[in-house]
Chains A and B, each alone.
Chain A
Amino acid sequence: GAGVSQSPSNKVTEKGKDVELRCDPISGHTALYWYRQSLGQGLEFLIYFQGNSAPDKSGLPSDRFSAERTGGSVSTLTIQRTQQEDSAVYLCASSLGGRSNEQFFGPGTRLTVL
C-alpha cells in the first residue's frame, strides 16, 4: 500500500518568504508527526496530531512555525518569514495512533533558505 508522501521534495526560497510543506499520511493512521533534521541538530520533534485532539506543539521552535491537519488526514506545515537557520529536511511520520505504535516516515522535504 501507499506510504507517507510529502511534497515538495525540494524547496528553495528566499529569506523572509513564507513556505508550506505538505504531508499525506498512510490511510487510516490517526496520528501524524512532524520532525526536522538539520546539520548539527540531528532529528527533532516539532508537532504531533492525534485524531481530533488539540495538537501537541511543544517542539515548534518559534511562533513562525504552525501546522494544520484538515479532516484528520493531510497536514500542512507553514513557516512564515523564513530564516536561513530554517534550512533543513522536514520529515513527516504517521502511525495508527496510541503511544506505542510504530511510526512510518515520508521521504522528507529539503528546505533551503537563501
Chain B
Amino acid sequence: DAGVTQSPTHLIKTRGQHVTLRCSPISGHKSVSWYQQVLGQGPQFIFQYYEKEERGRGNFPDRFSARQFPNYSSELNVNALLLGDSALYLCASSFVFTGAQYFGPGTRLLVL
C-alpha cells in the first residue's frame, strides 16, 4: 500500500504570494493533520481534519487555512506569504483522529 503522499516536493514563492500544498492519506485513513517544521525544531501542529471537518487548529494566523475532500485528501493554503513561512510542511494521516499518525515526506517551501 502507498504511504502518505504530498505534492509538490519543493516550492519557491515570493513574499505576498499564495501557496497550496496537497496531501493524500493512506488508503482507509480518514484523518489528516498538517505540521510545520523549521530547522532545529520539531514539527508544529497546524490543523487536523477528520471526516472533512476541522477538528483542531494550532497557534497559526488566519493566513493558514485547509480543507479535506470527500476522498479524504487535503489541501493546506497559505495566503500573503512571509519569509518566516519558509519551512517543511508535513502531512500525517491516521485512521481516526486519536490514532497513530503516519507522515508523508513533506513539501519544502522557500519564500524569497
| A and B associate | no
Residues of A within 8 A of B (CB): none
